[in-house]
Chains A and B, each alone.
Chain A
Amino acid sequence: MDWRIRRLGQSVFTVWAVMTLTFVLTRFMPGNPIDYFLVEVGPDLDDPAQAYEMAELYMNINPEDPLYIEYYDYMTAFMQGDLGRSMSMNMPVEEVLAIAIPWTLFVMSWAVFLGFTAGIAIGAVMAYWEGGKFDTALTGYATIITSIPFYVLALVLLTIFAYRLNWFPTGGRQPEGVEPGFNFLYLTGIVHHAMLPVFSMFVTSGMAALTMRGNSIRVLGSDYLRVARLRGLSDPTIAIHYVARNAILPMYTGLMIAIGSMFGGAVVLEEIFVYRGMGWYLIEAVRARDYPLMMGAFTVITIAVVIALLIADLTYGKIDPRAGGENREAF
């Protein structure tokens, strides 16, 4: 059997397994959507029993069904492309996701892109001057900054730049009172809102620089580099085709995983900045025990990661001939 087909099969299996597990786990969370609805709506109604009927009517679920029937129903609907209806948002899950995902991708892709490019560049320079002042200082800095969780930094940034200095908005994802669309004010407003979240993610991503530094130092000490110098190859050829390419290769899978995990967003980050993306909706869904939305969000995240890994696997052979066509996995 072709290993690509087998890899695809593995991916499908992984998605199914994670979905099943998620489905079971969410149902075991204490509380359920009806309770939440009753707490929210109940006090306003005269008869609590009426609330129960309303809940069933509005949310179109039957909490009395045994788990396996619910599971069967959900999976059948899922295969037909129906993710169900979000109970808390009162609209189809697909629509909620379609609204949330672009915002999350916007913030996360900038954070990942800046983190990796800066990391690779800085790491390469650190390796070139290994042991020098620049290297020592930045290694120390990267180590400390990487060990600070991004949300701690986010809170600090938020306090200083948003609440004290008022340079940035304290939350939200788009400017208020501006017509959404391709106009200057709206676009700058979006960037303005995204800056603090991106920055707090970017600053804490020192890992890429440290990895790049380590990889480069390993390559710089390799025999083939010495032979290349003796062969008289030009410095740019050596720097790009010999050092950089071999140092970046091992980071490729990491990059793909980072891209895959972007869809999940940084849950806590979006909560802090009240940035309505996937993470924010996910927390809302958990709070409201909104089963369909939770399932939808988790499934999207799972599929994104699995697809990213699949792409990493399928393309790794293209960029690293050693892994080409063999029965090897990139991670």
Chain B
Amino acid sequence: MTISESDASLVDSTGTDTIVELRDTSVSFGMDRGESRVLNEVNIDIERNEILGVIGESGSGKSMFASALLDAVPAPGTTTGDVIYHPEDGDPVDVTGLSKSELKQFRWEEISMVFQGAMSSFNPVRSVRTHFVETLSAHDYDVDAGIERAKDLLEDLYLEPERMLESYPHELSGGMKQRVLIALSLVLEPEMLVMDEPTAALDLLMQQSIISLLNEIQEKHDLTIVFITHDLPLVADLSDRLAVLYAFEFAEIGPADEILERPAHPYTRALLNATPNLSAPLEQMRPIEGESPDPVNIPPGCSYHPRCPLADEQCKSIDPGPYDAGDSRNHDVYCHHWEQSIDDLERAFTESNSDDSPATRNASHSDDAEPLVSLEDVEVQFGSENDGWLDFGESDVVTAVDGISFDIYENDVVVLVGESGCGKTTLGKTAVGLQRPTDGTIEYKDRDIWKGSSGSSTLEDEEIRRALQIVHQDPGSSLNSHQRVRSILSTPLNRWHPDLDGNDRRERILAMLEYVGISPPEDYIERYPHQLSGGEKQRVALIRAMLVNPDLILADEAVSALDVSLRVSIMDLMIELQDAFDTSFLSVSHDLSNARYLAEKTGGRIGVMYLGELVEIGSAEQIIQNPQHPYTQALRWATPELEQDDDPDENPIRTIDVPDQKNMPSGCRYHTRCPDARETCRTQKPELVDLSNEDGVQRTACFRVDDDHEYWDSEPITDDAVDGDEDDDHVNVSG
């Protein structure tokens, strides 16, 4: 049963021009366990020429929502309900009722789609031009005119049309492929573009650049864009309206600024609070308790009630219909208590979370403290040099880490950030002895960790091996899928605490599970990894590392694979465990928001890496609030914020794409992209300069921090001087 105060919102509202309306649209899959509803009777009107941001965690049904718009749900799924498309002139079209050939015409000509996997959206053996040509001819479009249009589109996306068309997919970088895919989806001039996580696989800087381009494209081509993502801050700025999906239903739909400032649904509010970002005070960030429901067993009533602090009997039995919230007519919220939610939620939160969030502490270290792990001029090269006539391989050396020195202290947290390929993971693995450096030394408590293990890739000293541990990015593949939690967790105990007998071990594991919030532990200890949720798996992986009593744990993107709402809770857990077990964390992340949360809460440091070098390292506050290196400033710019920014800053990079690692730029490696680069940067290499003051520690490798440097007298590098190759992706996004 559905009750609703504002049925008016379902009627095609006057004044607005609807392009697609969904009425009671469901997508379901028949499964052994029963029917799985992955989209549950949703209603929404998408307006012409708007950008609608659809936000949902993984498994919220957001990809199914995208597919349903084109009636493209993969078999054996079925779409029921109405999907009605309103052409600009002509009669409405019932998309689900179209025949196969009508559907073929409708897709791509009226509504087209961009997938997450741009990397794999192209046929690897056909050139980009062929992709355009076959699309045009399949729809009986004029090929020559279509190719001209494609060239215009590519040019609008700051790509070189001719070169792109002649390329094969593998010759393009991820960001280029994604832009070509956008051009391909627009070549038939559709009215609407559905984008399903289009930037999820891209680096921060590329992601932000594409988002800026989308705005221009949308205006130029009068497009309606549906942008689907798990990353709320990413679309916050871009969208006109936001729709929040939870458990296969919409929780809230409304204008973007209203949703961001006055979220009416408790879930939206919780999601906003759970999303790590750069500006909000840390105390405001809290995890959402509990897990999303299973599509086979959607709770009756409001599907959010098991996790909602405001839930009462009404929520458990009655499905909330859309209520009009806020000032504007088109803000719908699916919650019985939305008015209360706006006022009371803060209190509800404070009660449930009063004392289990660890307080911010300060782990700053005086210079004379003994480092736990000390890296000195570490260099890691991959590939091999051609070393003789029997070696037929070409000299093929990539320097992943190039002369980095830093110290990690006891109870310390260091977070390495940078774009993919900058060497942050390699440096991390080197620091914990999983990768042998080609040059330089790593010392653990003044002992060289590679001493005595000549030529082998494992550490000789077992004590050091125990002290340095790792937690991987994807808990799904780092836990043995054929072992129960019990045996996964007892392996480290058997190895390092052979004196414990079976009962002691079991007791200890149970206690640990309980400690990290997995209960009842007696139930979980007999489970296999696939019977755990993502968050639980990562907790088990954390415990496994902790059980050997390590001194330093490398957390390699430990929260990146998790849902937004779980990230904060896992990071809180890491901080708590760090306190309890007296360990240090070396964390690797591509996301400045996560890095900030972890480092600021523990008083740790953030290290920014670029092409194998450490360009800036310092306390979280200094790196976020007062970045000195232009690259850190660019990362800061690229990290999306949870607020609508009416005056976007100018893009602080000159070229989007990272230079080729086999052909490193001379001097300062960032000079090819740096907006402030001058001739000096091309020839001289800046060293890390200590800028620490009372606000925190900070070391930066840039000439600009030295007021007397000859840099200030040299000529600025203009873009014409940059090599042709690197000019290809020149982007001047502004305003």
Contact = CB atoms under 8 A, between A and B. Distances in A.
Interface of A: 1, 3, 6, 9-10, 222-224, 226-234, 237, 241-242, 245-246, 249, 319-322, 324, 327
B362 interface: no
B360 interface: no
B726 to A, nearest CB: 21
A228, A242, A246, A320: most-surrounded residue (chain B CB, <10 A): A228
Contact of A228 (B113, B123, B124): B123
Interface string B120-136: 11111111000000110
B120 A223 contact: yes
Nearest to B393: A327
A232 B107 contact: yes
A321 B72 contact: no
B104 interface: yes
B145 interface: no
10 contacts: A9-B392, A226-B74, A227-B113, A227-B115, A230-B107, A232-B138, A237-B138, A246-B124, A320-B124, A321-B127
Contacts of B170: 321-322
B-side interface size class: 20 to 34
B117 interface: yes
A231 B108 contact: yes
Nearest to A225: B123
Contacts of B72: 226, 229-230
B102 to A, nearest CB: 11
A222 B139 contact: no
Given A321-B168, A322-B170, A224 B394 contact: no
Given A227-B115, A327-B396, A233 B135 contact: yes
Closest 9 CB pairs of A and B: A223-B120, A321-B168, A232-B104, A223-B117, A227-B121, A322-B170, A232-B138, A231-B135, A233-B138
Interface of B: 70, 72, 74, 104-105, 107-108, 112-113, 115, 117, 120-127, 134-135, 138-139, 168, 170, 184, 392-394, 396
B121 A245 contact: no
Contacts of A233: 134-135, 138
Contacts of B120: 222-224
Contacts of A320: 124-125
A63 B170 CA distance: 59
Nearest to B70: A230
Contacts of A237: 134, 138
Given A10-B392, A223-B115, A246-B125, A230 B138 contact: no
B392 A6 contact: yes
B139 A232 contact: yes
A222 B70 CA distance: 19
A232 B135 contact: yes
Contacts of B122: 224, 227
Nearest to B386: A1
Nearest to A221: B74
Contacts of A230: 70, 72, 107-108, 112-113
Contact of B123 (A229, A242, A319): A242
B125 A249 contact: yes
B74, B113, B121, B135: most-surrounded residue (chain A CB, <10 A): B121
B145 to A, nearest CB: 18
Nearest to B134: A233
A241 B134 CA distance: 11
A280 to B, nearest CB: 37
Contacts of A6: 392, 394
Nearest to A321: B168
Contacts of A319: 125
Contacts of A222: 120
A241 B138 contact: no
Contacts of B124: 224, 246, 320-322
A245 B70 contact: no
